[in-house]
Chains A and B, each alone.
Chain A
Amino acid sequence: MSAGGIVPRQSFQEAARVTLANAQMRRNLGHATTTIREKRLRAVSELPNWEELRDEGAALKDHVLANLGDYLLDLEASVKRRGGQVHWARDAAEARGIIADIAASHGAREVIKVKSITTDEIELNAGLAERGIHAIETDLAELIVQLAEDRPSHILVPAIHRNRAEIRELFRRKLGAEGLTDEPKQLAEAARLYLREKFLTTKVAVSGANFAVAESGTVCIVESEGNGRMCLTMPEVLISVMGLEKVLPTWQDMAVFLRLLPRSSTAERMNPYTSFWSGVTPGDGPREFHLVLLDNGRTDVLADEVGRQTLRCIRCSACLNVCPVYERAGGHAYGSVYPGPIGAILTPQLLHLEDKNANTLPWASSLCGACYDACPVKINIPEVLLYLRGKITEEKPLSAEAIAFKTAAWVMSEPHRFEGAIKLARMGQGPLVRNGAIHALPGMLGGWTESRDLPPIAAQSFREWWRKRPAPEMRGTDGDAQTSEGEPIAPQREDGVPL
């Protein structure tokens, strides 16, 4: 349990199989992502300067990343000035230890949590449980996931893979809420009753953070339910944990992101609740405030020129919602608390490209580019995917696949070899071709023919045709192409299959 909730237990391909086989889950996902995709497009198109705003967001983040050390030290100083305490955690284990120590020093048996993705990254709940402390999720979706003993499958909507009927059943079993209908209102009410008691009785809270302002030492959370605000203001002790990259220099910068984030994530003009807190204020809110700054691989990502842009991410989840691979395979296939396109580049990097399963993630993309178009801070996810593929492949021992690719490159770097290979393949494909198509391929390529046919190599390649073309003066004045044999070109393919 050292590297935390980002270590996949299986390869993407293996894990994806589970969701792909679950028709209900696929329907839930397809429905949810389609709805939010359309809403987001509308919300974004309302702003005439959306593209400029994206550029501004990207530039600001790049500026922060280029000066990260300075801004973090500023943040630390500001938080301390306001009576808060700052802790630096190198990895997940250190962060868990720091948080558990603080909670234990107050004799806590329970803590309430909000905005839990970073705490999921460090597997805080399990870490606290080891110390006899029970963590209670207060985000509705996180609560659902926790009660179901499930794992989150989406950054923003961790229970996106579940539908209302499933949730009603869960609340009935786990919260003893009888007589519920599928109505969202009723479901929310059941959760509210359960959580209200927790808000009123729990002394220690743990939160994530969306942003922190270096100049004032202010931490910020944006949310939709208001549970976050309860969590941030009711308890006596508040511990906020955030990734190093979440710092912003000034309040002015915050204005850019408070416009980019809600439209990209929930397709709202403004999110319902935005909470800010700076250190401690006598007579108001928690009496003790701790800020845990988490590295957990981030400084290594920062050191990489191409990979660095990954840290611009504001966890809006727009890339998940537009990703056709995420929509089909589901969040669990990514095996980490960071699913979807951002997870495919963030997870392997946080694990220093050393985890075999995480290293399958950069291939979990058809490179369609929808994520890059949607990303409010213009992370070129396809570019980073390709870059990581290169790095991971470089490190691998010579596989059959590598030999095939190397051979192909050798063949194709010389036209005569390439042409020879086409001829060889044409001769060799004979036994595979039935009724003008290939229905089963051997070896590594077999994945193709599980569900698709393949046309055969053509009887005459383009270059063969080109070579046999009559000279220009022999052709018709309109330049009509004719086959070398002088036959008119009939509406059928070279392999003789009528169209």
Chain B
Amino acid sequence: MTIDLFITCLNDAMFPRTGEATVKLLERLGHEVRFNEAQTCCGQMHFNSGYQEDALRLVRHFVETFRDAEVVVAPSGSCVGMVRDLYPRAAEWAGDEELLAEVNALAPRVFELSEFLVRHLGVEDVGAYYPHRVTYHQTCHAMRILRVGDAPLRLLRNVRGLKLAELPAVEQCCGFGGTFSVKNPETSTAMLADKVQSVLSTRAEACTAGDNSCLMHIGGGLSRLQAGTRTVHLAEILASTEAEVFA
């Protein structure tokens, strides 16, 4: 299958290895991967912060970029959540019928990496090897908007060498929330403190998730505490093999 990658602005600029891992993983599974260089950002940050008109520019840009894709896959639950759940809202609230029709045609073809692998390709064992103790943080958008369910866990359970440690209070938000973390830093920090505590209680070497925005938050807290536990995107674990540990 020909898969169009959506690497998201955050991954492009700050976490390129997640994108590299996604490419490597999908190619290893035998797919042709394309990266349309016209892509930029899904507009989530703008839309969520109340700048809907500005977000619309990015919504239109996204639609133009990916209009002809068979499927679009992104290693980011929240950005896919934006496309599937909120693009229709954005178009509706702007009263743009044409855009709404385009969005409705495109959005069902846009997938988060783990749901794409498990639900769409029916793959649960990607042949990965990652000999570490890992805990999995369920990000809110993947869990409640995309309903990816246990897709990431199924993938992780099949990773050779990996010991999965259950994260307490797994359904609780890490407190990132995009600009929430900057606009309400004290509340966000209180949420983060509990999440970091949960992560540390698992004695995992790494905390993983399907979204680098949440991991950036959790990782930022762990790093400030100088805790040994690191964060690593799910794609990087899945891309790792015995021949080459990616993450």
Whether B224 pairs with A20 at a CB distance below 8 angstroms is no
Docked complex Cα distance between A140 and B208 (Å): 46
CB distance from A287 to the nearest CB of B (A): 50
Decide yes or no whether B171 CB sits under 8 A from chain A: yes
The listed residue with most B CB atoms (<10 A of its CB), out of A367, A455, A457, A491, is A367
Whether A366 pairs with B224 at a CB distance below 8 angstroms is no
In the bound complex, residues from chain A placing their C-beta under 8 Å from that of B11 are 462
Decide yes or no whether A383 CB sits under 8 A from chain B: yes
Whether A494 pairs with B46 at a CB distance below 8 angstroms is no
In the bound complex, residues from chain A placing their C-beta under 8 Å from that of B175 are 324, 366
For B89, give its contact among A328, A368, A386, A454 (CB under 8 Å). Answer: A386
Whether A366 pairs with B176 at a CB distance below 8 angstroms is yes
CB distance from B47 to the nearest CB of A (A): 7
Decide yes or no whether A481 CB sits under 8 A from chain B: yes
In the bound complex, residues from chain B placing their C-beta under 8 Å from that of A387 are 89, 93
In the bound complex, residues from chain B placing their C-beta under 8 Å from that of A488 are 244
Decide yes or no whether A445 CB sits under 8 A from chain B: yes
Given contacts A386-B47, A389-B48, contact A453 B13 (CB under 8 A): no
Docked complex Cα distance between A239 and B14 (Å): 62
Given contacts A437-B223, A453-B220, A461-B13, contact A409 B244 (CB under 8 A): no
Decide yes or no whether B185 CB sits under 8 A from chain A: yes
Given contacts A364-B184, A367-B180, contact A405 B40 (CB under 8 A): no
Please give me the residue from chain A that is nearest to B184 by CB atom: A13
Whether A409 pairs with B54 at a CB distance below 8 angstroms is yes
For A329, give its contact among B14, B52, B187 (CB under 8 Å). Answer: B187
Decide yes or no whether B189 CB sits under 8 A from chain A: yes
Decide yes or no whether B157 CB sits under 8 A from chain A: no
Stretch at the interface among B21-29, B101-109, B118-126, B158-166: B21-29
For A413, give its contact among B7, B37, B61, B216 (CB under 8 Å). Answer: B61
Decide yes or no whether A251 CB sits under 8 A from chain B: no
Docked complex Cα distance between A406 and B86 (Å): 19
Interface size in chain A (residues, C-beta < 8 A): 78
For A306, give its contact among B9, B93, B193 (CB under 8 Å). Answer: B93
Given contacts A368-B144, A412-B41, contact A383 B89 (CB under 8 A): yes
For B220, give its contact among A333, A415, A454, A467 (CB under 8 Å). Answer: A454
Tell me the residues in window 42-62 of chain B with beta carbons closer than 8 Å to chain A beta carbons: 43, 45-55, 57-58, 61
Whether B57 pairs with A409 at a CB distance below 8 angstroms is yes
Decide yes or no whether A460 CB sits under 8 A from chain B: yes
Decide yes or no whether A363 CB sits under 8 A from chain B: yes
Q: Give B contacts to A, CB under 8 Å.
A: 7, 9, 11-17, 19-20, 23-24, 27-28, 35, 37-41, 43, 45-55, 57-58, 61, 86, 89, 93, 140-141, 144-145, 171-173, 175-193, 216-217, 219-221, 223-224, 230, 232, 244-247
Between-chain CB contacts (< 8 Å), 15 pairs: A16-B187, A328-B191, A366-B140, A368-B144, A387-B89, A394-B53, A405-B51, A408-B45, A412-B58, A447-B188, A451-B189, A452-B181, A458-B16, A462-B35, A494-B16
Question: Can you name 4 extra interface pairs (CB under 8 A) apart from A390-B50, A451-B193?
Answer: A13-B187, A413-B58, A463-B35, A499-B247
The 5 closest A-B pairs by CB, nearest first: A366-B177, A452-B220, A393-B50, A447-B185, A389-B50
